[in-house]
A and B are shown apart, each in its own frame.
Chain A
Amino acid sequence: MDLILPYLATLVVFFFVYNILTWGLNIQFGYAGVLDFTFITFVACGAYFAGVFALGPGSQQNGFEWILGLNLPFPVALVAGALAAGVLGILIGLIAINRLRSDYMAIVTLATGTVLYGLVSNFTPLFDGFDGLAGLSPPFAQALGLNSNQFTYLWVVVCGVVMVICWFIAQRILNSPLGRTMRAIREDQDAAETFGKDTVRVRLTAMAMGALLAGAGGALLMGFIGAFSPAGWTSGETFVVWAALIVGGRGNNWGAIVGSFVVAVLINEATRYIPPVSVDPTLVPTLRNMLIGASLILVLWVRPQGIIPETRRRFLQLPLRPGTPPIRGAERARG
Chain B
Amino acid sequence: MGLIVQSVGFGLVTASVLAVAAVGLTLQFGVTNYINFAYGTYLLLGAYFTWTLSTKAHLNFVVAALLACLLMGVVAVVIARVVMQHFVSRQAPLFYLLIVTFGLSLILSNVIEAIWGPAFQTYNLAVGNPLILGPFSLTPNQIIIMGIAVAAMLGIHLMLTRTVLGKAMRAMSDNKDLAQVSGINTDQITTVTWFVTGCLAGLAGVALTVTTVSFGPASGSNFLFVIFAAVILGGIGKPYGAMLGAVILGIITEVSAVLVSAAYKDDIAFVALIVVLLLRPQGLIASRGRA
Contact = CB atoms under 8 A, between A and B. Distances in A.
A100 interface: yes
B270 A112 contact: yes
A259 to B, nearest CB: 14
A119 B267 contact: yes
Nearest to B29: A103
A296 B105 CA distance: 12
A95 B120 CA distance: 35
B216 to A, nearest CB: 12
Interface residues of A, number: 42
A321 B229 CA distance: 58
Interface in B79-132: 83, 86-87, 92, 94-96, 98-100, 102-107, 109-111, 113-114, 117-118
A114 B107 contact: no
B281 A290 contact: no
B33 to A, nearest CB: 9
Contact of A286 (B113, B221, B224, B232): B113
Interface string A259-289: 0000000000000000000001011001101
Contact of B270 (A102, A111, A236): A111
Given A95-B274, A107-B225, A297 B104 contact: yes
Interface residues of B, number: 42
A289 B106 contact: yes
Interface in A287-303: 287, 289-290, 292-294, 296-297, 300-301
B266 interface: yes
Contacts of B86: 301
Given A114-B221, A293-B104, A108 B92 contact: no
Contacts of A232: none
A304 B99 contact: no
Nearest to A106: B98
A108 B275 CA distance: 11
B37 A106 contact: yes
B102 A37 contact: yes
Contacts of B109: 289
B222 interface: yes
Overall SS of chain B's interface: helix
A98 B276 CA distance: 13
A290 B111 contact: yes
A292 B96 CA distance: 16
B1 interface: no
Nearest to A121: B263
A191 to B, nearest CB: 15
A35 B98 CA distance: 9
A293 B106 contact: yes
A242 interface: yes
Interface in A1-48: 33, 35, 37
B99 A294 contact: no
A297 B83 contact: yes
B221 A297 contact: no
Which of B94, B99, B105, B117 has the most CB atoms of chain A within a 10 A radius of its CB? B99
B45 to A, nearest CB: 15
Given A290-B110, A296-B103, A300-B87, A104 B94 contact: no
Contacts of B83: 297
B35 to A, nearest CB: 5
A101 B281 contact: yes
Contacts of A98: 277, 281
Contacts of B225: 107, 110-111, 114
A87 to B, nearest CB: 18
A103 B267 contact: no
B99 A103 contact: no
Contact of B266 (A114, A246, A292, A297): A114
A293 B103 CA distance: 5
A290 B267 contact: no
A119 B271 CA distance: 13
A125 interface: no
Contacts of B92: 300, 304
B263 to A, nearest CB: 5
A209 B278 CA distance: 24
Given A114-B222, A280-B117, A103 B35 contact: yes
A122 interface: yes
A102 B37 CA distance: 14
A239 B109 CA distance: 13
A47 B216 CA distance: 28
B263 A122 contact: yes
A101 B237 CA distance: 14
Contacts of A280: 117
13 contacts: A98-B277, A102-B95, A106-B98, A107-B225, A110-B225, A111-B229, A290-B107, A293-B104, A294-B103, A297-B107, A300-B99, A300-B100, A301-B86
Interface of B: 34-35, 37, 83, 86-87, 92, 94-96, 98-100, 102-107, 109-111, 113-114, 117-118, 221-222, 224-225, 228-229, 232, 263, 266-267, 270, 273-274, 277-278, 281
- 3 closest residue pairs by CB, A with B: A293-B106, A293-B107, A296-B103
Given A293-B107, A297-B103, 8 more contacts: A103-B94, A103-B98, A118-B267, A286-B113, A290-B110, A296-B100, A297-B83, A297-B107
